[in-house]
Chain A
Amino acid sequence: QKEVEQDPGPLSVPEGAIVSLNCTYSNSAFQYFMWYRQYSRKGPELLMYTYSSGNKEDGRFTAQVDKSSKYISLFIRDSQPSDSATYLCAMSPFTGGGNKLTFGTGTQLKVEL
């Protein structure tokens, strides 16, 4: 069993829809949770960063962590065609640079006009 599980999709939604992307994990030591966005033929880039349980909002994006269920989510409101990308969750027991991140396999999202 992988430490981090993520549905690969593809997920196709109409423009303006609310999108929910999820990851489950098995390692209870994970405390720092990230979402990276990867456009086609590009490297991943950090989208959201959260610590422990709770919600964090940044514009149209909300990251949610439920450590009791070992479940994290990324919500995208009013989705746009420019949100079409692969979304990777990543997590680590520690904060700061140089700590190993464990990545999910990514969910491919397509937002259609």
Chain B
Amino acid sequence: EAQVTQNPRYLITVTGKKLTVTCSQNMNHEYMSWYRQDPGLGLRQIYYSMNVEVTDKGDVPEGYKVSRKEKRNFPLILESPSPNQTSLYFCASSLLSRGKSAGELFFGEGSRLTVL
């Protein structure tokens, strides 16, 4: 089954304790991205990656790191989490080729993070 898998789905942590949210896709997609979703603010892009070893900042990158060492994996790292990073996080992937269907983003089921 084609899917984007995120882990953990739910996490409660404390300020300053480093954490990693993993993301893996099995569709051989070149493009991967992380979003956070907050009430009233919608989906905002954190980081994205066009391919292995190619990453770039989105709209809200502060406090986050990413890496893309393999095509299928795109972990999100919070080196020193703070309460304002409490949010619902989504990983997404898509093909890079042109054409209407190529732009379709496939999302994971989300990771709800609470930072105390």
Contacts and interface: CB of A to CB of B under 8 A. Distances in A.
A106 B100 contact: no
Interface residues of A, number: 26
Interface residues of B, number: 31
Contacts, number: 73
Given A34-B103, A96-B98, 16 more contacts: A36-B105, A41-B109, A42-B109, A42-B110, A43-B90, A43-B107, A43-B109, A44-B107, A49-B104, A95-B103, A97-B97, A98-B50, A100-B45, A100-B58, A105-B41, A106-B42
14 contacts: A43-B90, A43-B109, A44-B43, A45-B106, A51-B100, A92-B103, A95-B100, A96-B99, A98-B48, A98-B50, A100-B48, A103-B43, A105-B40, A105-B41
Interface of A: 6, 8, 32, 34, 36, 41-46, 49, 51, 88, 92, 95-101, 103-106
Interface of B: 4, 29-31, 40-43, 45, 48, 50, 58, 90, 92, 94-110
